[in-house]
Amino acid sequence: MRTRTHRCGELRKQHVGQSVTVCGWVDVKRDRGGVVFILLRDVSGKVQLTFSDERDRALVEQTRDARHEYVVSATGKVALRDDANRTDKLTTGEVEIIVEHFEVLNTAVTPAIEVRDDLKCDPELRLKHRFIDLRRRPMQAMLQARAALIAAARRVLDAESFIEIETPILYKRTPEGARDFIVPSRAHQGQFYALPQSPQLFKQLCMIAGLDRYYQIARCFRDEDKRADRQPEFTQIDIEMSFPTRDDVMELFEKVVVGIFEGLQSDPRLRDQDWPVLKAGKLQTPFERMDYETAMRDYSIDRPDLRSRELRLTDLSGWAKGCSFNAFKGAAEKGGLVKGLRCPGMAEAFSTGQLKNLERDAKGMGATGLANLKVTAAGLEGGIAKFIPEAEQKAMIAAFNAQPGDLLLICAHEKEKIVHAVMHNMRIMVADKLGLNDPNTMAIAWVINFPLFEYREEDQKLFASHHPFTLPQDVAGVANMARASRAGNAGSPMARMLDGGVKLDDILALRNNQYDLVCNGVEIAGGSIRMHRTDWQADVFELIGITKEEAEKKFGFLMSALAHGAPPHGGIASGVDRLLMLLLGLDNIADVIAFPKSATGRDLMIDTPNEVEPALLKELAIETRPPVK
């Protein structure tokens, strides 16, 4: 084998006359009787090899056995193609190699899937033969984009005096919202490590250690139910810094995002792709900021898709309390929510059957129904219009700022979460139908001022909205509530606080120092300013029902570290896979990971998870049982 001098996709007009050696895979072979063309492919692109009887018949004979996906080497001189044979479909379309030496380096069986850009086949077949799937240009371009994304983030963070620190993979179980993967210890039988859901606690320990600015391209593991945007193992850009304000962290991460966009947009390897990020243009900073309450009021979700920002929801709860339609009035009087969507000019856009399907979808999300009303010059038309007097109709139309020809979709329920879920989905559906969500537009915004706690009414339990290490905006208020809880005798913190005169509305009005970055309805990063004092941390633990003993068992090392002079600190993390999926306009996270798991969590290529030898289980003191059917 001769030494390779160039990659296939690198050759251009300026190389004409040079003797080169290229290596790669046979993409296409065409035999024109006395003239043979081979399109040779490697990770950089493709180049045409040309053989002819006129120049070297023996060399043409050498190509007879070359097949699709054979690995070959070719040496020859770069020449300009004839005008009639030039193509702009290849970056090397103006040149070819007149081959003088040809060698088959390895043969190949017929691949189980085709190596073609527009491949359409069973996704599981692609996963089983991933090493073939990754030969395709879209997959290789994706991996090049992934590498460029991470390199761009590193450039920004290195320039901002951050240092990259690796944190442990063998970790311990912590309550972070998902199930852990656990790893048995041979040396400590009956005890287990856990794989980290995130490096959250370790990055805080780095700040306590005085390292000031940390980042990591971190592997994370969560045993979650499968969805298109989830994988059991994934990668985060993880960042933490000491002595920051909320604005410091947000402004820093804006630089990271801008750097990523510029890195992908300027990468010459990616110019042949048709991705949204390459069409989005230059990002403008600072990014828009939106209050959590505004997001929920206008869009019924804390990660709104602002490409269709003018398609806002309308809160009708105040109107409903005095209306004549009992379904609306009853929900409002019970403290629930009545919310509607004005669909501009869409009064005739849905058939009766389609409107019934929308109502069925709403009921599937827990709603009792979904009202639809058409706006006319005379008022409202629709199944419930007869229950709404003319004056109330006019007030409703005014609340929506509706015009004749509009369609109104309305949901009412005593549980706000149900109404939000229904109306968010209706809004996205209508936006798509109106063509408002341009796939090549990147609508980026920060969402801030989140609730500190979420409340579960069934058992009167509070949960940290973000995570329990997030700094409250009102630490004094939290301290007062924690004192009321500690002084009470009831069974739960919530009951003790209520007995002590604390109002539920005041608890739910507390806000934290969380900030999420959203783009086109997808959360692409999230973080917070952390708790750096043990008394503040203990107060939050008290309110969410983590006892002193439980806190010591689960977070004793953190509480000890905080007591040793922890600085104020905060950070942010971004899921590399989800961010890349968004930037490339893909809809499945598996398409941006080199070797992903299937929808059931299996690696179909190497066939895992799998059983292990009984002797190893015995050594680990583990006994298995047949799976429950």
pLDDT at 477 over 90: yes
Sign of CA dihedral 349, 352, 356, 357: negative
pLDDT at 81 over 70: yes
pLDDT value of residue 112: 94
The helix/strand/coil state of 542 is helix
Please give the structure tokens belonging to residue 283: 């990002």
Q: Name residue 96's beta-bridge partners.
A: 79
pLDDT at 517 over 70: yes
Alpha-helical (H) ranges within 352-474 are 352-364, 390-400, 416-433
pLDDT at 444 over 70: yes
Percent of the chain having pLDDT more than 70?
99
List, in sequence order, every beta strand (DSSP E) within 222-285: 233-242
Peptide bond into 286 cis (omega under 30): yes
The helix/strand/coil state of 306 is helix
Per-residue pLDDT reduced to its tens digit, 487-506:
999 888 999 999 999 999 99
Sign of CA dihedral 262, 263, 267, 272: negative
pLDDT value of residue 172: 86
pLDDT at 519 over 80: yes
pLDDT value of residue 391: 95
pLDDT value of residue 576: 97
Q: What value does the mean pLDDT take over residues 220-239? A: 88
Please give the structure tokens belonging to residue 474: 């009102």
Q: Chain-wide mean pLDDT for the chain?
A: 94
Q: What value does the mean pLDDT take over residues 180-184? A: 92
Least confident of 522-526, 589-593, 598-602: 598-602
Quote the CA–CA distance of 373 and 393 in Å, as a whole number.
Answer: 10
Comparing C-alpha atoms, which of 177, 232, 264 is closest to residue 597?
Answer: 232
Kindly report the CA angle at 281 between 276 and 284, in degrees rounded to 5? Answer: 120
Residue identified by tokens 């060698």 is 103
Quote the CA–CA distance of 27 and 119 in Å, as a whole number.
Answer: 14
pLDDT value of residue 177: 64
Alpha-carbon distances of 629 from 625, 626, rounded to whole Å: 12, 9
Q: What value does the mean pLDDT take over residues 430-445? A: 94
In which band, very low, low, confident or very high, does the pLDDT at 228 lie, cut at 50, 70 and 90?
A: low
In which band, very low, low, confident or very high, does the pLDDT at 420 lie, cut at 50, 70 and 90?
A: very high
pLDDT at 175 over 70: no
pLDDT value of residue 176: 58
Sign of CA dihedral 86, 91, 96, 102: negative
The residues near 574 (Cβ < 8 Å, ≥ 6 apart) are 236, 237, 253, 256, 517, 524, 525, 526
Number of neighbours of residue 110 by Cβ within 10 angstroms: 8
In which band, very low, low, confident or very high, does the pLDDT at 42 lie, cut at 50, 70 and 90?
A: very high
pLDDT value of residue 413: 97
pLDDT value of residue 257: 98
Q: What value does the mean pLDDT take over residues 173-200? A: 86
Per-residue pLDDT reduced to its tens digit, 297-352:
999 999 999 999 999 999 999 999 999 999 999 999 999 999 999 999 999 999 99
Burial class (CB in 10 A: 0-12, 13-18, 19+), 106: exposed
Q: Name residue 570's beta-bridge partners.
A: 241, 529
Which amino acid appears at position 17 of this protein?
G
Per-residue pLDDT reduced to its tens digit, 245-290:
999 999 999 999 999 999 999 999 999 999 999 999 999 999 999 9
3-class SS letters over 458-511 = HHCEEEECCCCCECECCHHHHHHHHHHHHHCCCCCHHHHHHHCCCCHHHHHCCE
pLDDT value of residue 60: 94
Kindly report the CA angle at 578 between 573 and 579, in degrees rounded to 5? Answer: 70
Quote the CA–CA distance of 629 and 492 in Å, as a whole number.
Answer: 37
Strand-strand pairing, 213-221 and 163-164: parallel
**If you ran DSSP here, which 8-state letter would residue 300 be given?**
S
pLDDT at 14 over 70: yes
Q: What value does the mean pLDDT take over residues 525-550? A: 94
pLDDT value of residue 555: 84
CB 460 within 8 A of CB 543: no
Complete DSSP assignment for 581-619: HHHTT-S-GGGGSSS---TTS-BTTTTBS----HHHHHH
Task: Identify which has the larger pLDDT, 113 or 629.
Answer: 113
pLDDT at 441 over 70: yes
Q: What value does the mean pLDDT take over residues 4-19? A: 96
Quote the CA–CA distance of 481 and 538 in Å, as a whole number.
Answer: 12
What backbone torsions phi and psi does residue 291 show, to the nearest 5 degrees? -70, 145
pLDDT at 466 over 90: no
Alpha-helical (H) ranges within 266-307 are 276-279, 292-299
In which band, very low, low, confident or very high, does the pLDDT at 457 lie, cut at 50, 70 and 90?
A: confident
Percent of the chain having pLDDT more than 90?
85
Number of neighbours of residue 590 by Cβ within 10 angstroms: 21
Q: What value does the mean pLDDT take over residues 354-364? A: 95
Q: What value does the mean pLDDT take over residues 103-132? A: 94
Q: What value does the mean pLDDT take over residues 534-563? A: 90
Helix H or strand E encompassing 570: strand 569-575
pLDDT value of residue 600: 86
Least confident of 155-159, 387-391, 620-624: 620-624
User: How much is the pTM?
Assistant: 0.92
Please give the structure tokens belonging to residue 418: 């149900």
Sign of CA dihedral 379, 380, 381, 386: negative
The residues near 36 (Cβ < 8 Å, ≥ 6 apart) are 29, 30, 50, 51, 52, 60, 63
pLDDT at 182 over 70: yes
Chain center to CA of 413: 30
